[in-house]
């Protein structure tokens, strides 16, 4: 049975997989050059910086001399990445030696940046315009709420409020593809990927959705390179500042509307103009690491007797826990459940293969969302639970 795996690496893997012509076009935008440079492995960044003012091709043997014997593997990874991103062009000169040249456009844009310093992509709203802007905290809450709402909607939860969801059903179908499987008579069920998806952290989930959004863009008549460049540009905006929607072109305007539904952007109508305010989700988009401040506080306490206490009011959290635990009762701010054999079996029926990966997801989910009180302890999840959750399954077979 072919398995669909979610590869939630990062934005740049997607950029790297673009066809050469599109990639070259992307490098005309200085922000993309900047974002791409930042996404590279440390050694690759270093090479680019070192070669920025070297106009002749640099031979591979010279490049090798920069590295200590310990770094040989890292060096190869860095050079491969540079070639893959077409930042380096590999040439073979007359003496049969491999040489590398930096992408001309990329080089020019970075030189410009180094001399002049970075400029923001567009000017934020002038201070003299009186529009009440949400505070950063409000904005974070808005983003979290919007995202949660979207996820509930995505998994077709009965709990999803029938709010004014403007994401078109066809769009939703695209996102659901791979995550849900439709069986006859029954309602849609989570596939293995969907199961893993729900247990990932927000950044990884966001990235998965954005990836689907981008790969689907051609069907909507939007050039994927344009979309990527806009999304990358967005991450250079300042969180919480309002930007005029008039500065966007038509494609970007529809994109902004879609992103607002995901909680990446908050739209605000002023007296004359409308504004868009990027939230933390948008500005973190090109960063592949999870920012400490975007990390939500944990809420789960697991006891050695497999009982589970979740201090949360969120319906989404309840839905997620339901995937592998029996919810016993729900209080206004507390969900109590227990991880049982039956529930785990149930989770792994319906085509979800009981392989190690999914189990790891349950355990890592419990660890990552540990309540601050237990998170201080080592281990945050009792050892017998981390050991036995996988064991439960294998003992059955």
Q: Which of 26, 36, 37, 260 binds other proteins (CB under 8 A)?
A: 37
CB of 263 to other proteins, least distance (A): 19
Q: Which of 21, 68, 127, 378 binds other proteins (CB under 8 A)?
A: 68
Query: In whole angstroms, how far apart are CA 351 and each of 100, 217, 342?
Result: 48, 29, 16
Answer yes or no whether residue 65 interacts with other proteins by CB under 8 A. Answer: yes
Answer yes or no whether residue 177 interacts with other proteins by CB under 8 A. Answer: no
Q: Which of 19, 118, 372, 379 binds other proteins (CB under 8 A)?
A: 118
Answer yes or no whether residue 114 interacts with other proteins by CB under 8 A. Answer: yes
The interface mask with other proteins, positions 134-173, x = CB under 8 A, is ----------------------------------------
Contact 193, 212 (CB under 8 A): no
- Is the bond preceding residue 349 a cis peptide, omega within 30 degrees? no
Answer yes or no whether residue 250 interacts with other proteins by CB under 8 A. Answer: no
- DSSP bridge partners of 327: 337
Q: Which of 22, 24, 25, 52 binds other proteins (CB under 8 A)?
A: 52
User: Read out DSSP for 312-344?
Assistant: ---HHHHHHHHTTSEEEEEETTEEEEE--HHHH
The interface mask with other proteins, positions 365-384, x = CB under 8 A, is --xx----------------
Contact 327, 321 (CB under 8 A): yes
- Residue 125, classed as helix, strand or coil, is coil
Which residue, 40 or 143, is less far from other proteins as judged by CB? 40
Q: Which of 14, 16, 67, 101 binds other proteins (CB under 8 A)?
A: 67
Which residue, 45 or 317, is less far from other proteins as judged by CB? 45
Burial 166-176 (b: 16+ CB within 10 A, else e): ebeeebeebbb
Q: Which of 108, 133, 157, 201 binds other proteins (CB under 8 A)?
A: 201
Element (H, E) at 244: strand 243-244
Which residue, 22 or 74, is less far from other proteins as judged by CB? 74
Element (H, E) at 104: helix 104-116
Answer yes or no whether residue 92 interacts with other proteins by CB under 8 A. Answer: no
Contact 277, 174 (CB under 8 A): no
Structure tokens at 261: 């539904």
Answer yes or no whether residue 122 interacts with other proteins by CB under 8 A. Answer: no
The interface mask with other proteins, positions 273-302, x = CB under 8 A, is --------------x-xxxx--x-------
User: How many residues at the interface with other proteins, by CB under 8 A?
Assistant: 49
Answer yes or no whether residue 361 interacts with other proteins by CB under 8 A. Answer: yes
Answer yes or no whether residue 49 interacts with other proteins by CB under 8 A. Answer: yes
Answer yes or no whether residue 110 interacts with other proteins by CB under 8 A. Answer: yes
Structure tokens at 22: 């599109």
Which residue, 121 or 134, is less far from other proteins as judged by CB? 121
- Residue 268, classed as helix, strand or coil, is strand
Answer yes or no whether residue 129 interacts with other proteins by CB under 8 A. Answer: no
Per CB under 8 A, the segment of 14-22, 47-55, 245-253, 385-393 that binds other proteins is 47-55
Dihedral pair phi/psi, residue 340, rounded to 5°: -120, 160
CA dihedral 61, 65, 67, 71 (to 10 degrees): 50
Of the candidates 171, 172, 168, 189, the one whose C-alpha atom is nearest the C-alpha of residue 180 is 189
Q: Whats the size of the chain, residue-wise?
A: 397
Q: Which residues contact 21 (CB under 8 A, 6 or more apart)?
A: none
Answer yes or no whether residue 115 interacts with other proteins by CB under 8 A. Answer: yes
Answer yes or no whether residue 387 interacts with other proteins by CB under 8 A. Answer: no
Structure tokens at 117: 């310093």
Query: What is the rounded distance in angstroms from the CA atom of residue 143 to the CA atom of residue 294?
Result: 11
Give the residues lining the site for other proteins (CB under 8 A): 5-8, 34, 37-38, 42-43, 45-46, 49-50, 52-53, 65-68, 70-71, 74-75, 110, 113-120, 196, 200-201, 203-204, 287, 289-292, 295, 357, 360-361, 364, 367-368
């Amino acid at each position: 049975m072919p398995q669909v795996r979610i590869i939630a690496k990062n934005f740049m893997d997607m950029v790297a997989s673009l066809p050469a012509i599109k990639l070259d076009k992307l490098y005309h935008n200085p922000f993309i050059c900047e974002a791409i440079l930042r996404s590279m492995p440390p050694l690759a960044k270093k090479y680019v910086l070192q070669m920025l003012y070297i106009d002749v091709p640099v031979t591979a043997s010279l490049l090798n001399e920069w590295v200590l014997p310990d770094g040989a593997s890292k060096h190869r990874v860095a050079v491969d990445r540079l070639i893959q991103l077409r930042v380096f062009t590999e040439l073979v000169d007359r003496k049969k030696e491999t040489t590398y040249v930096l992408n001309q456009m990329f080089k020019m844009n970075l030189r410009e940046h180094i001399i002049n310093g970075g400029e923001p992509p567009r000017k934020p709203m002038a201070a003299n315009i009186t529009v009440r802007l949400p505070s950063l905290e409000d904005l974070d809450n808005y983003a979290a709420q919007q995202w949660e709402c979207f996820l509930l909607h995505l998994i077709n939860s009965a709990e999803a409020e029938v709010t004014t969801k403007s994401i078109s059903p066809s769009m939703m179908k695209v996102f659901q593809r791979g995550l849900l499987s439709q069986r006859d008579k029954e309602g849609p069920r989570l596939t293995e990927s969907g199961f893993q998806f729900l247990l990932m952290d927000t950044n990884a989930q966001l990235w998965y959705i954005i990836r689907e959004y981008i790969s689907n863009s051609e069907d909507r008549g939007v050039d994927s390179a344009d979309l990527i460049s806009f999304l990358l540009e967005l991450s250079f905006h300042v969180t919480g500042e309002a930007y005029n929607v008039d500065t966007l072109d038509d494609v970007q305007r529809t994109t902004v509307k879609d992103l607002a539904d995901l909680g990446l952007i908050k739209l605000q109508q002023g007296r004359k103009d409308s504004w868009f305010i990027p939230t933390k989700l948008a500005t973190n988009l090109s960063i592949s690491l999870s920012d400490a401040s975007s990390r939500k506080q944990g809420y789960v306490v697991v006891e050695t007797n497999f009982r589970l206490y979740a201090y949360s009011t969120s319906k989404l959290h309840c839905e997620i826990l339901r995937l592998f635990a029996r919810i016993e009762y729900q209080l206004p701010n507390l969900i109590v459940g227990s991880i049982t054999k039956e529930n785990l079996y149930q989770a792994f029926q319906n085509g979800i293969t009981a392989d190690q990966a999914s189990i790891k997801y349950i355990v890592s989910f419990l660890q990552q969302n540990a309540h601050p009180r237990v998170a201080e302890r080592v281990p945050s999840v009792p050892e017998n639970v981390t050991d036995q959750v996988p064991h439960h399954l294998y003992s059955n077979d």
